[in-house]
Chains A and B, each alone.
Chain A
Amino acid sequence: MNKTIPLLIAATLSTSAFADHDKHEMKHHGGDQMKHAGMNHDHGAEHDHGSHDHNAMAHEHGDMVMNTATITHTDEISAALSNGGAPVVVDVLGVVCDFCATAMNKIFGKRDEVAALYVDLDKKTLSLVINDGSDLSDKQIEKLAKQAGYRIAAIRRDSEAMGG
């Protein structure tokens, strides 16, 4: 019995350690959860389609209720916007505690493209300001959120992120 437990651990880790990873990819790219039903933003003239990769990530609205939250203004975010940064608001699923915020801060805060960020537990959003001249595509944002352990539901940029 003493030998069976380590074997069980090894078997479990080898067979399932990355099963979730694969499943996660499927959910994001399989199409089923990438519905635009309940889309909370206008794809009309106001939306700048030139600034990000719209096809790569789309906007996942799986089990999300409509969220039209705009960017959260902190001193850091306001300063970054004043310096010409581009606002991005990311609706994040599963953000319920400060550990979630810590994870997002650590992962996104390392990126040179990010001038300022704030995780808002009340709004369930990640507010980003992208440095002038830099870009962080929807797909990159999705990937970073996954590294933090979370999943995104929608991304709003520019005027949508600012609320008008």
Chain B
Amino acid sequence: MIKMILRIALVSMSLMLCATAVARPVSYAGGWTLIETSNRASTAGLVHYSPAHNFSVGLRHEWQRASDVKLTAIQPSLLVNRWFGREYQGNLYLTGGLGTAKDESPNNRGSETASFVGVMADWETRTLFVSYEARFLEQGALGNHSMHAARFGWAPYAGDTGELHTWLMLEVDRREHFEDKTSVTPLLRFFKGPALLELGYNLTDPSPLVNFTYRF
């Protein structure tokens, strides 16, 4: 029980320090995951718990920097299917969220009920990676956003268990509410044990990408 409280406290602190994210939204049964993402649109944190191998529920906090809107939502995610092979794994996830969005800008447009739905799919071997992600967010007067992102990745070597895994990736995203609707971000992914770090830079809409995931 004390361990659980400490874990929740650690995760809450991390959420306050960073913000929200998405990556692999479902873990093993009984597993906790902390995800932080920061890209050209937002900085976000998600902590989720998976009671089963195909379902998780999490708390998401997201700061949409351009509009200075902060979203807090409960986010359930479902692993719809996982395809297995000796050399590959593919996943299809559905996710959603319900919460509130608050305008923190001088415009002070108040708070709105916020909701979103999303889909994520990925396929990977130890040296190749492809993914697609989409999210549709409704925030009433604070703006409705859609996002699509696709990724291609290649690992120059296949790291074994516990070794540092390094990936070269390219992300292409499309956000209708941005001036640069489509943008390209090359990034590096470093993966070791339960921790994953991604560092990139958006070439179209100059801004850093920093993503971090830790699985407990």
Residues of A near any B CB (own CB < 8 A): 1-2, 5-6, 8-9, 12-13, 16-21, 23, 63-65, 67, 91, 93-103, 106-107, 118-122, 124, 146-151, 153
Number of A-B contacts defined by CB within 8 Å: 137
Asked whether, in the complex, the Cβ of A149 is within 8 Å of the Cβ of B117, the reply is no
Interface residue B178 (Cβ < 8 Å from any Cβ of A): no
B43 to chain A minimum Cβ distance, whole angstroms, is: 23
Asked whether, in the complex, the Cβ of B96 is within 8 Å of the Cβ of A63, the reply is no
> Which B residues touch A2, using CB under 8 A?
113, 115, 138, 140
Binds A, one of B6-14, B58-66, B85-93: B85-93
- 58-117 of chain B: CB within 8 A of chain A: 76, 78-89, 94, 96-98, 113, 115-117
> Which B residues touch A13, using CB under 8 A?
55, 76, 78, 96
> Which A residues touch B53, using CB under 8 A?
146-149
> Which B residues touch A146, using CB under 8 A?
53
Please measure, in the bound complex, the distance between the C-alpha atom of A85 and the C-alpha atom of B53, giving whole angstroms: 29
> Which B residues touch A17, using CB under 8 A?
54-55, 78
Main secondary structure of the interface of B (DSSP, over half): strand
21 residue pairs A–B, Cβ–Cβ below 8 Å? A9-B96, A9-B117, A12-B78, A17-B54, A17-B55, A63-B86, A93-B85, A94-B84, A96-B124, A96-B126, A98-B161, A98-B194, A103-B27, A103-B28, A103-B215, A107-B29, A119-B161, A122-B160, A147-B52, A148-B53, A151-B84
Please measure, in the bound complex, the distance between the C-alpha atom of A118 and the C-alpha atom of B116, giving whole angstroms: 39
Closest to A99 in B: B215
> Which A residues touch B126, using CB under 8 A?
96-97, 121
Instruction: Choose from B87, B115, B140, B191 the contact partner of A98 (Cβ within 8 Å).
Output: B191
Size of B's binding interface in residues, CB under 8 A = 50
Asked whether, in the complex, the Cβ of A150 is within 8 Å of the Cβ of B194, the reply is no
Interface residue B130 (Cβ < 8 Å from any Cβ of A): no
Please measure, in the bound complex, the distance between the C-alpha atom of A63 and the C-alpha atom of B86, giving whole angstroms: 7
Closest to B94 in A: A12
A2-B115, A102-B194, A103-B215 given. 9 additional CB < 8 A pairs? A5-B138, A12-B94, A96-B126, A99-B215, A106-B30, A121-B161, A124-B87, A149-B27, A149-B53
Residues of B near any A CB (own CB < 8 A): 24, 26-31, 52-55, 76, 78-89, 94, 96-98, 113, 115-117, 124-126, 136, 138, 140, 158-162, 165, 191-194, 196, 215
Please measure, in the bound complex, the distance between the C-alpha atom of A150 and the C-alpha atom of B91, giving whole angstroms: 12
Asked whether, in the complex, the Cβ of B96 is within 8 Å of the Cβ of A94, the reply is no
> Which A residues touch B54, using CB under 8 A?
17-18, 20-21, 149
> Which A residues touch B88, using CB under 8 A?
94, 96
Please measure, in the bound complex, the distance between the C-alpha atom of A2 and the C-alpha atom of B101, giving whole angstroms: 13
Please measure, in the bound complex, the distance between the C-alpha atom of A13 and the C-alpha atom of B54, giving whole angstroms: 11
